[in-house]
């Protein structure tokens, strides 16, 4: 099994690490586009072009599945890639609205994602399908990917956002950008039992198994 994992920056490494545990015999390679990171403040056309260019080695390399370990690339480029390369299997990452809807007791959840993901049609469709009955907070996390990518975590800034989400009743926090996986433990610590923090690493492995019958 050959899996290619792409992210605009370092977030994909966290996804690849989880996949290596699930599929220890697989060949798993990663690509990133740190020259253009972050993607979250770019236009849809830019994201599609940058994603297609960045994954060219995977497209030419006979990979069983290419995983877009980037919520922004999934939201803005996945449909285009599936149409353009119909013989290639792709898996994307999306904010876990459906899972959050099953976990919440307060019917208030928070989605931490990039501006491009939150503004995308794909995200809007997820909310309509699984979260129409919920109150969904969408805090401004637009700086987080840059700060994480450049190892400049501002804990007091993140604490203020986490406290605000919890104070407003959110009992599930959805990490909708793979960069944020790197600070999941910090967010859990700051939430201090007030909210469950979820991200899709395990779900990606299940999807690979479904797609390949692995």
Residues known to be catalytic: 70, 177
3-state per-residue secondary structure call for 168-197: CCCCEEEECCHHHHHHHHHHHHHHCCCCEE
Tokens matching residue 28: 């798993």
C-alpha R_g of the chain: 17
Q: E-strand spans in 69-107? A: 89-92
In whole angstroms, what is the distance from residue 15 CA to residue 208 CA? 12
Which DSSP helix (H) or strand (E) runs through 30? strand 27-32
92 strand-pairing partners: 68
């Amino acid at each position: 099994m050959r899996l290619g994992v792409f992210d605009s920056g370092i977030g994909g490494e966290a996804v690849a690490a989880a996949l290596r545990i699930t599929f220890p015999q697989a060949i798993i390679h990663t690509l990133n586009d740190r020259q253009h990171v972050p993607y979250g403040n770019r236009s849809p056309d830019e994201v599609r072009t940058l994603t297609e260019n960045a994954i060219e080695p995977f497209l030419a390399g006979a990979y069983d599945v290419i995983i877009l370990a980037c919520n922004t690339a999934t939201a803005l480029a996945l449909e285009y890639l599936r149409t353009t390369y119909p013989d290639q299997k792709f898996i994307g990452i999306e904010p876990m609205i459906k899972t959050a809807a099953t976990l919440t007791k307060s019917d208030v959840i928070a989605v931490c994602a990039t501006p491009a993901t939150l503004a995308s049609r794909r995200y809007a469709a997820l909310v309509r399908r699984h979260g129409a009955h919920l109150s969904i907070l969408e805090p401004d996390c637009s700086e987080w990917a840059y700060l994480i990518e450049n190892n400049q975590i501002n804990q007091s800034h993140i604490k203020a956002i986490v406290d605000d989400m919890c104070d407003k009743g959110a009992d599930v926090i959805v990490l909708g950008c793979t960069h944020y996986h790197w600070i999941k433990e910090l967010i859990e610590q700051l939430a201090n039992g007030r909210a469950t923090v979820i991200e899709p690493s395990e779900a990606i492995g299940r999807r690979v198994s479904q797609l390949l019958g692995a």
